[in-house]
Structure 1
């Protein structure tokens, strides 16, 4: 039965009572311990009496149709439109957050439109979107809502795409990703110091999520690392990150290096020079990764997909989310040498292009 739209907090899962009477949230490795009326760091999960609740069920923001490459996903139905939405809050505290007005909002009512899972699925279907992206803030913090939206989308043949930092515990991780078809996981750096000092978290749980996705699920996933000058852009760190990806996840997993611009609490670092992204891409390819991309800059070479078998340009991209070349056959293989490109492809690309189109939801 379709759940009615909540105007009040919805029941949350993944918590237990401590001996001292507090309730511990077991969704993510923060393990927030809550007195009555208090909230976790994510702000949207809190204690109400003797239970944990989610404040943002049915309250969403940012409904827009984007190119799927903006998530970024380059090996998932290229050129197709994706309906993007998020809620308020986040379970990390990244000083460089570029969606901080949403992820760090403490005013869920101001930011949020009422949206049932059925309304979101209908909006995606009516607008011709092949996928719905859970993005802008981390969807693991609104797990209960996300899995219901995903179920409504799946019933209409619409895929679900998680844009996440992967900072989640094992039990909820399994439920969350069982509802997802694809993901882009933000691997923010490859040092514990960066995660602790800049993000307020830890590296190990993210690596555990990535290994889980590779070994235990059928979710198609790609990785993104935002390179911040002077923080996580050193040659040694980039090389170690790429070597770990190749060894633990496989050389065929796509890796995106994207450009930083000063924002929120991190304004002392300059924007990422394009040369830094090109250098990182070269180092990762030298480490054996087959599909390495650059983003947030106009770099047609770094945005395009190249065949590791013969070197042919398989998917040409202009660096602005527009596909301008396609050399895959109907089976997703290189027309020149037959190499199978990993991912999810159709006989030809979509033609959505770079446009970003706001969407208004209708009651259903």
Structure 2
């Protein structure tokens, strides 16, 4: 049986006809790997830009936020598990064309909208939708924002760099061991951050999960590495709440978030506490 390889992320799924990849959003159809979740929208909201979180990119503005389903990591603490861990058959969605989405974003300009944020699930598993919408949005003078786990191969990432204006990239932790638990790898995400930071505005988020990635040593190493790219990259240290496979875990103590933020400030100019 002939299999076709997906080259969007490092999983490199080899798929038979009709088979869906690890992410749940890409599948083999007609001998090609396609974006199965293209235009299938599970979430649509008009948010303050600070909710992405982006604190240093058009602060005070709003952005139309859109998400589909599926993800190429398996974070047991996923805060959006209802859509990111869902399959197409498990969830309600509406079909929206790129033209319709961009028109909706354009209409919201009068209410302070600056563009479209691709978010909620992992948007880069559907990078074709991001690319197609992003090109149309640019023509209307709209900004494109990606909120992503950064687990993408370099080639498709570079296809988006002229389209995307700002990234918020999740840096889940700073050890190979931790990323292995999530079925990803740290080096790929570090590479995404380095490449994106050379092209446009980047902010980074680290969700602090008690007993997993909450040591001062890890945050010291993470923030020092970021500072070598630029000490001006904003870092969001955010509080975990019990979700999905960690629903029995206690929330991150607020004092832990503030303590680790202070550690990160040794190396970075802009560090923000979140979910406190």
Instruction: Normalising by structure 1, report the TM-score.
Output: 0.73
* Bigger proportion of residues as helix: 2
Report if aligned partners of 2:238, 2:275 keep a CA contact under 8 Å in 1: yes
Secondary structure at the residue paired with 1:265? helix
User: Which residue number in structure 2 is paired with residue 191 of structure 1?
Assistant: 175
Q: State which structure, 1 or 2, has the greater radius of gyration over its C-alpha atoms.
A: 1
How far is 1:182 from its partner? 0.4
Q: Does 1:270 align with 2:274?
A: no
Q: Distance in 2 between matches of 1:110 and 1:282?
A: 40
Structural mapping, 1:87-126, within 5 Å: 87-107=68-88, 110-126=91-107
Secondary structure at the residue paired with 1:85? strand
Moved more, 54-63 or 163-172: 54-63
In structure 2, runs of 5+ residues without a counterpart are: none
User: Which residue number in structure 1 is paired with residue 38 of structure 2?
Assistant: 57
Structural mapping, 1:194-343, within 5 Å: 194-197=178-181, 199-215=182-198, 217=199, 219-247=200-228, 249-286=229-266, 288-297=267-276
Secondary structure at the residue paired with 2:34? strand
Aligned residues: 273
In structure 1, runs of 5+ residues without a counterpart are: 1-19, 298-364
Q: Distance in 1 between matches of 2:158 and 2:225?
A: 23
Q: Distance in 1 between matches of 2:164 and 2:10?
A: 21
> How big is each residue's C-alpha offset from its partner over 1:219-247, in whole Å with a ceiling of 9 and x where there is no partner?
11100000011100001101111111111
Report if aligned partners of 2:219, 2:263 keep a CA contact under 8 Å in 1: yes
User: Which residue number in structure 2 is paired with residue 150 of structure 1?
Assistant: 134
2:119 to 113, 135, 150: 135
Runs of 4+ in structure 1 deviating by more than 2 angstroms, as ranges, are: 107-111
Secondary structure at the residue paired with 1:57? coil
Report if aligned partners of 2:106, 2:115 keep a CA contact under 8 Å in 1: no
**Alignment CA distance shift 1:108-1:221 (3 Å):** farther
How far is 1:177 from its partner? 2.8
Report if aligned partners of 2:123, 2:130 keep a CA contact under 8 Å in 1: yes
Instruction: Normalising by structure 2, report the TM-score.
Output: 0.95
Q: Distance in 2 between matches of 1:95 and 1:110?
A: 19
Q: Distance in 2 between matches of 1:231 and 1:93?
A: 15
Q: Distance in 2 between matches of 1:244 and 1:50?
A: 42
Q: Distance in 1 between matches of 2:89 and 2:125?
A: 14
Secondary structure at the residue paired with 1:111? coil
User: Which residue number in structure 1 is paired with residue 143 of structure 2?
Assistant: 159
Q: Distance in 2 between matches of 1:156 and 1:52?
A: 30
Q: Distance in 1 between matches of 2:72 and 2:46?
A: 25
Secondary structure at the residue paired with 1:148? helix
